[in-house]
Structure 1
Amino acid sequence: MTPRIVVLAGGVGGSKFVLGAREALRRRGIAASTDHLTVVVNTGDDLWLSGVRLQPDVDSITYALAGVNDTARGWGRQDDSERVNAELQAWGVGWPWFTLGDLDLGTHLARTGWLREGATPTGVLERMATRWDLGARLLPMTDAEVDTVVTVDDPDRGPRSMHFQEWWTRHRATLPPLAFDNPGIEAAAPAPGVAEAIAEADAVLIAPSNPVVSIGPILAVPGIRSALRQTSAPVVGVSPIIGGRVVRGMADVCLGAIGVETSAVGVAGLYGSRRDEGVLDAWLVAEEDVDAIETVEAIGLTAHARPLWMTDPTRSADIVEAALAQARV
């Protein structure tokens, strides 16, 4: 049987995991396609900037699958230039601390044009996917604009709110966060095809992305959590915490803001077991966290320890294979 796999993902960790999912299918002799691999992508960190619509996680995963991503920086296009960005800054347009590469800006301009013509974010992604053979179907979590807003405790100005990208990129998460919100998300709906893909899947995998600002917004879209709880497919998550530390970024700061311990156990508890109103059936922890298995199983999850460092597509595929083994697929 050719499995139908759905992955919930965002960020650099999500990109690496999705590459691993495609490679895992190829190992089985399956030509990865939109029929076998669907990726539900976080759009909570999207924003309007300099008159164009940016979708950082969508683009990171698209570029990674297309093989044109900048692996050194972890974002944007490889071999990109910044001539237009410099000109924008000379005009005082945009954010001087948020760089837009020229090739990357071409994507944003194309997206914005399509949106202005009436296309939905789902339709835009469909058009983007025709340029490269991605080997997967990419779906935004929702077609609604539900950008992430961070309320911070600014020592100079007191509590104030800013877009997630300003807090993440400009301040490098150094301003203590008090809350993360996605204004309007309570009125949002899953993008067309998302709930159906989850319902028809043979396995649903939650990538080792930031649990708060990458996976959190996906689960907050009304209808997605219930779809995960109702699907007959096993739902398997992969811990983004290895040895009590985050692999990349500032997920520990995000977790601390919502009162969750930075540990494999803490994130497992955040997602919860489907037995107790959560979304998971099984949880992969890093081999460094093997001692956490007993506690994770007490939450109601099947747990196994595996090497979780995604240093290359081969090792990422190994992790996906381990997750699929937990799903018995």
Structure 2
Amino acid sequence: MPSPLLHPPVRSAGAGLQRRHLLAAGLAAAPWFPSAAADPERLRIGYQKSSTLMIFLKSRGLLEKALAPLQVHVQWHEFNSGLPLLEALNVGAIDVSADVADAVPPFALAAGARLTYYAIETPSPQAQAIVVRKGSPLTSVAQLKGQKVAFAKGAGAHYLLLEALAQQGLSIKDIEPAYLSPADARAAFENGSVGAWVILDPFLAAVQRQSGARILQDGAKLSSYRHFYLAATPYAQRRADVLGVLYAQLQAAGDWIKKNPSQAAEWHAPVIGLDTATVEAANQRRSYRVQAVDAEALAEQQRIADAFSQAQIIPRRVQVSESPVWRPDTAR
């Protein structure tokens, strides 16, 4: 029976059409998906190496213990980026996703995905920034005109760049975009192949500490940079009880990390291949405060979707309000 905690679900296009839409937007699909067979006694979680709270729960077996009374078995599936993760979620290959950056859901929704928002992390605007090399002559966003700028297409960094340029009366057409992964972008940044790099933590903290990169503009007053947690809509309708347990565990994990920054960094640094000090610096800028999805967060999702559709980065306008939202009985 559908949960009364859900708004009406968004309509879904066919799976083939969804794949074509994603590819038309220049996005790589996941190379594999786990089994798509539905099982009410199984919770399949998709996550990335940057999914701090989910990895914390996984490393300690906390979710398995919390779900034992419901006789639900947890399965973990790692993805390289957010878009393939949400595509897997849409086709029923996983049931819930760990956090993805705020710019990712609009891409999936533009492809017709049926996704339910079930939690957010409160804003962390300073955990993303436009950076230049230590000796760069660039001192303002306006000076990016005509420059080659590296960033990941469709990421939160992409939206931050659009907003920063717009504030200066510029658009993406006024720069030379270099769509690069973080690893490739850092190499291009350090060898001078690009004039600036738009990046998120922990890569931001790493390039600051290790290369002396200078922040030209962070997300303050431009992009809130919330992290969104999503579920496959059929699963959210069927197992609202499981989402309730997961939500509570994510809140507890976030609380622990903020109260124990040094211990959290020591634990997470080996997972993502960075030194402890860099991870701790990144964690200081991220809120890790999990709460229910609110109107303000959805309104910003709409602004992001509109910015991408107006820039012809996604193939059609997205109406975020059509997507279901799971709401817990109580939230901090």
Bigger RCO (CA 8 Å, 6+ sep) = 2
Tell whether the structures are fold-level matches, with TM greater than 0.5: no
TM-score (normalizing by structure 1): 0.30
TM-score (ref. length: structure 2): 0.30
| Greater helix proportion | 2
